[in-house]
Amino acid sequence: GQNIDQPTEMTATEGAIVQINCTYQTSGFNGLFWYQQHAGEAPTFLSYNVLDGLEEKGRFSSFLSRSKGYSYLLLKELQMKDSASYLCAVRDSNYQLIWGAGTKLIIKP
């Protein structure tokens, strides 16, 4: 079956760096997405990786290794507003998105 694994919850300190991991087993691969979802709100797009390597976008970076079925989202200079759930999703061979359950990130002052 298809599976996306990510930690349920993580805690980090304001100003620090945090890495949220995502491992996947899917039928084919056509890209990996990271979304941010604040409590009670809709998910919003953060990043997209289809080739191996690191994609940097401001304080957020996303890494992909297709051979390992692995990605991470790196958040630098954490701010209180970064407290949210972070969703990993993989697009499979049918171009459908398979979603992880999300990682709830708690930022402490």
Partner 1 sequence: IAGITQAPTSQILAAGRRMTLRCTQDMRHNAMYWYRQDLGLGLRLIHYSNTAGTTGKGEVPDGYSVSRANTDDFPLTLASAVPSQTSVYFCASSNKEEGGELFFGEGSRLTVL
Q: How far is the CB of 32 from partner 1 (least distance, A)?
A: 12
Q: Are strands 60-65 and 70-75 parallel, antiparallel or unpaired?
A: antiparallel
Q: How far is the CB of 12 from partner 1 (least distance, A)?
A: 21
Check if the beta carbon of residue 32 is closer than 8 Å to that of residue 5.
no
Nearest CB to partner 1, comparing residues 43 and 69 = 43
- Closest CA relative to residue 57, chosen from 65, 66, 48: 48
Nearest CB to partner 1, comparing residues 52 and 77 = 52
Output Rg (C-alpha) for the chain, integer angstroms.
13
Nearest CB to partner 1, comparing residues 95 and 109 = 95
- Cα–Cα distance for residue pair 89/102, rounded to 1 Å: 9
Binding footprint of partner 1 on the chain (CB under 8 A): 4, 31, 33, 35, 41-45, 48, 87, 89, 91, 95-102
